[in-house]
Amino acid sequence: MASWNSFPLEVLYNVLGWLAFFSWSISFYPQVILNFRRKSVVGLNFDFVVLNLTKHSSYLIYNASLFFSPVVQRQYHQKYGFQEMIPVALNDVAFSIHAVLLTAFTLFQITIYERGNQRVSKTCITIVSVAWLSAAACVFIALPSHSWLWLVSCFNTLQVVMTVVKYIPQAIMNVRRKSTVGFSIGNILLDLVGGLANYGQMAVQSIDQNSWVNFYGNMGKLLLSLVSVFFDVLFICQHYVLYPSKKMVISPKLDVVSKEPLLESADRPHSENV
C-alpha cells in the first residue's frame, strides 16, 4: 500500500481536499437561499437541476465504492499497481453525499415555488432515462465476471457526461433571456474555487508519488474539475460582462408571451412601471 513521501504535501493535499469540499458544498446554498427569498425558481433551469441530481448520484456511487469497498480497491491496485494510492479521499465521499441531498432539496423547491411556464424538458427526461438504463445494463454485464472496478468506472463516466451536459441548458437559457437573474452567481464563484482546489489536490498527490496515475486512473475527477472550471468561467462572463444586472427586481406583472414575471430596473421611477 502506498504512503506519503512528504508530510507537508500530505497536509497540503488534505487542506485542498477540504477546501474543495467546503467550497462545492457551500455552493449549493446561494441558489437554495435565493429560491427561498424570491419564493420563485424562475430563471433557474429545471433541466440543470435534474441532470445535476443524476450526476451527483452516480458520482456518489463511484466515490463510496472506491473508498469503502476492499474488493474494488483490490481490483484498482491490480490494474494500476499496489504502490499507487486510491484516488478518492474522504472529502470526495462527504461532498457527494451532501451534493445529492442539496440537489434533491432544490428539486423539491421547484415543486413548491412559483415557476412560471418552466418545466423539465422531454430531452432532459430522455437523457436521464437513457443514463440510468445504461447503468442498469452495466450492472448485469459486470455481475458474471465480478468486474466491480469496471462497473464503478461506468458510473464515473456517467457523472462526467452529466457534468458536461448539465450546464448547457442553463447557459442557453441565460442567452435566450439575456439575463442571469434567478441563477445565483454565488453558486458559480464557489464552484470555481472548488474545481481549482480539486485539481490542485490531484496535482499535489501526483507530485508526491512521482506518478501521473492519479490523473488517468481517475479521469472522472480530473474531467469534473476541468469541465466545471470551463463553465464557471462562462457563467461569470455571462453574469458580469454579457448580461450585467443593474439592480433588478421581480415585477408582479407577467410577460404576456412567456407568462413569467417581468424583470425591471430598480432605478426606474415607480410611475414608469404602471
Residue 86 shares a structural domain with residue 124: yes
pLDDT at 272 (0 to 100): 37
Tell me: do 82 and 212 sit in the same domain. yes
Residue 166, in any domain of the structure: yes
- The whole-number pLDDT of residue 31 equals 93
- 257 pLDDT higher than 50: no
Q: Which domain holds residue 88?
A: 7-243
Could you tell me if residue 2 is inside a domain?
A: no
Q: Which of 191, 160, 163 has the alpha carbon at shortest distance from 30?
A: 191
Structural domain contains residue 133: yes
Range in 144-158, 162-176, 256-270 with the lowest mean pLDDT:
256-270
| pLDDT tens-digit readout, 85-123 | 787 888 889 989 999 999 999 999 999 999 888 899 999
- What pLDDT shows up at residue 221? 67
CA distance 243 to 241: 6
- Predicted confidence at residue 107, as pLDDT, reads 95
With a cut of 80, say whether residue 266 has pLDDT above it. Answer: no
Can you give the pLDDT at residue 218?
Answer: 64
How far is Cα 206 from Cα 25, in angstroms, rounded to an integer? 25
- Residue 1 in domain: no
Mean pLDDT of the chain: 84
In a shared domain, residues 239 and 257: no
Position 79 confidence tier, pLDDT thresholds 50, 70, 90: confident
57 shares its domain with 127: yes
Give the cell for residue 33. 437561499
Given a cut of 50, whether residue 140 has pLDDT beyond it is yes
pLDDT at position 176 over 50: yes
Neighbours of 257 (CB within 10 A): 7
pLDDT for 210 equals 80
Report the pLDDT averaged over residues 64-72.
93
**pLDDT of 270:** 40
| % of the chain exceeding 90 in pLDDT | 51
Query: How would residue 6 be classed by pLDDT, with cut points 50, 70 and 90?
Result: confident
If asked whether residues 127 and 213 sit together in one domain, one would say yes
User: Which amino acid, residue 18?
Assistant: W
Least confident of 48-62, 153-167, 203-217, 247-261: 247-261
- Residues 94, 191, single domain; the answer is yes
pLDDT reading at 127 higher than 80: yes
Question: Confidence class of residue 67 from pLDDT cuts 50, 70 and 90?
Answer: very high
- Indicate whether 260 and 134 sit together in one domain: no
Name the pTM for this structure. 0.76
Which amino acid is it at 230? F
Question: Per the domain annotation, does 147 fall within a domain?
Answer: yes
Among residues 183, 176, 182, which one has the least CA distance to residue 257? 176
| Residue 2 grid coordinates | 502506498
Domain identity same for 254 and 171: no
pLDDT value at residue 273: 40
CB atoms within 10 A of CB 27: 24
Q: Shortest CA distance to 159 belongs to which of 215, 222, 212?
A: 222
Same-domain check for residues 216 and 104:
yes
Q: How confident is the model at residue 225 (pLDDT cuts 50, 70, 90)?
A: confident
Q: Is residue 261 domain-shared with residue 134, that is, in the same domain? A: no
What total number of domains does the chain contain? 2
**131 and 255 fall within a common domain:** no
86 and 221 in a single domain? The answer is yes
Residue 193 maps to a domain? yes
* Domain membership flag for residue 57: yes
**DSSP notation for the chain:** ----S-HHHHHHHHHHHHHHHHHHHHTHHHHHHHHHHHTB-TTS-HHHHHHHHHHHHHHHHHHHHHHH-HHHHHHHHHHH-TTSPPS--HHHHHHHHHHHHHHHHHHHHHHHSB-TT----HHHHHHHHHHHHHHHHHHHHHHHHT-HHHHHHHHHHHHHHHHHHHHHHHHHHHHHHT--TTS-HHHHHHHHHHHHHHHHHHHHHHHHHT-SHHHHTTHHHHHHHHHHHHHHHHHHHIIIIIS--SSEEEEEEE-TTT-SEEEEETTS-GGGG-
Whole-number pLDDT of residue 217? 60
Section 213-227 average pLDDT: 70
